[in-house]
Amino acid sequence: MITENYIKMCEQAEEIQKLWKPVDWDRFIFKNDKTVGLGCGHIKSYMKVWYIWLPTQEQFQEMMTKQGYFRFTLIELFYHFANDIFKTNSSQKFSMNELWLAFVMKEKYHKIWTGEKWEEVKSDGS
């Protein structure tokens, strides 16, 4: 499900946006001062500046397996991550896209979503 929150999270996830190499059937949103439009298809790489990439769950999983995670390990890590999220935010609802994005941002970039922006997580050694 593509929610307004998911779009906001993707827009602010600069690390994820930098990874985008447009391919056929990517999901994206066009946004300027007057127009917002959701699209799915192919755009040229040079056009990325006008679009926000909305990765699929499959694309998030691919990012993590390229990072060296095995699929079963990835599923287990995601399960524990989602379980922790639901324990601490039991009243808030999250789409699966939002959860996968938050998981990737935490695992790869050590950032968490505050509800408004991505913030770096301090490591225990800091």
**pLDDT tens-digit readout, 46-84:** 677 788 999 999 999 999 988 777 888 999 999 999 999
Percent of the chain with pLDDT over 70: 90
pTM, full prediction: 0.86
Alpha carbons 104 and 112: distance in angstroms, whole number: 10
Banded model confidence at residue 125, pLDDT cuts 50, 70, 90: low
**Residue 41 contacts residue 25 (beta carbons within 8 Å):** yes
Q: What are phi and psi for residue 35, nearest 5 degrees?
A: -135, 140
C-alpha distance from residue 78 to each of 18, 27, 56, 75 (Å): 23, 23, 15, 5
